Structure 1
Amino acid sequence: MRFLKSLYQRFAALVHELTKFGTIGAVAFVIDTGLYNLFLLVVDLGPLTSKVYATVISASFAYAGNRFWTFRHREQSGLGREYFLFFLLNGIALLFGVLVIGFTTYTLKLNDPVSLNIANIIGVGLGTLFRFWSYKKWVFLEATTPIPAELPEAGIRQDR
């Protein structure tokens, strides 16, 4: 019975994290896609430059959402360390998007907005798989001691 209980608890935590990660990811995807199209179609920056700018902005949102909501129960190993690793790993994930968009644009010679958006979606999908795995492994570490659900009231005394 302990094994089944342990298995359930482990699976429930993963589903919980995946749901939160997916919610943050969905909002970041809307930000990324919206900005990609703004930079590509309105500002006319080009497909690769548009992707880099959109990713930097959407990744900033995703960091805050994942740190303070999705993985808030995990160890906090320092904002500087987490932020650096987060953006390093997002840079690697960005390569998926840039490679797919570059392949679509320069190899397949498909430069229309529909083709570029399909390429963007495929690149985001591949990058998302990498990001979820890498965030859990290197950025938002497993807590070494249990983190309380509610923070204690620090230094507040009530005299009766």
Structure 2
Amino acid sequence: MLRFAVVGGLGVVVNFSVFNLCRSVTALPTVRCSVISTSVAVLVNYVGFRYFAYRDRDKRRPAREFILFVVFSVIGLVIENGVLYAATYWFGWDTALQSNLFKAIGLAVATGFRFWAYRTWVFRWQGSGHPPGHSSPKSDVEQFRP
């Protein structure tokens, strides 16, 4: 979890930096800047997760891993930017402070989803799906067999 937080922290810095830079130097709408910044952060995070946070996980199917990472990242992107979209277009909250606040709320919700999805589906343990040294639970029959 600590390694996930380190990589995620870097992703947050990249995400907010690109977001605020895009808002200040372009005429793009707020949510479009956010989608761009989230996409850049996702690419940075993939490298960090694969080679730092989950480097000890199964590496036998990199194409599958990357596709699942992208799918779950897009779902996270929709969650994160859905909150920002609602704040911006439904409530008219579009100042820099409001946009950053609602982007942060959306990012927090999306991060919980991504943490679960990446650990469960993307960066799996090699073999049994359990960490090394962890045996899977015995079935009821095996438990009581002498």
TM-score higher than 0.5 = yes
| Partner of residue 13, structure 1 | none
Note the 1:2-17 alignment, pairs <5 A: none
Q: Structure 1 residue 140 and structure 2 residue 123: aligned? A: yes
Shift of 1:89: 0.4
Q: Structure 1 residue 23 and structure 2 residue 11: aligned? A: no
Alignment partners' CA distance in 2, 1:46 and 1:77:
41
Alignment partners' CA distance in 2, 1:120 and 1:109:
14
Q: Percent identity?
A: 28
> Which TM-score applies when normalising by structure 1?
0.77
Alignment partners' CA distance in 1, 2:110 and 2:27:
24
Alignment partners' CA distance in 2, 1:140 and 1:74:
6
Letter in 1 for 2:101: I
1:8-34 alpha-carbon deviations (Å, 9 max, x no partner): xxxxxxxxxx10000000011000000
> Which TM-score applies when normalising by structure 2?
0.84
Alignment partners' CA distance in 2, 1:55 and 1:87:
12
Q: Structure 1 residue 50 and structure 2 residue 22: aligned? A: no
Unaligned regions of 5+ residues in structure 1, if any?
Answer: 1-17, 148-160
Moved over 4 A (4+): none
Q: Structure 1 residue 124 and structure 2 residue 107: aligned? A: yes
Equivalent residue pairs, number:
130
RMSD value, Cα: 1.5
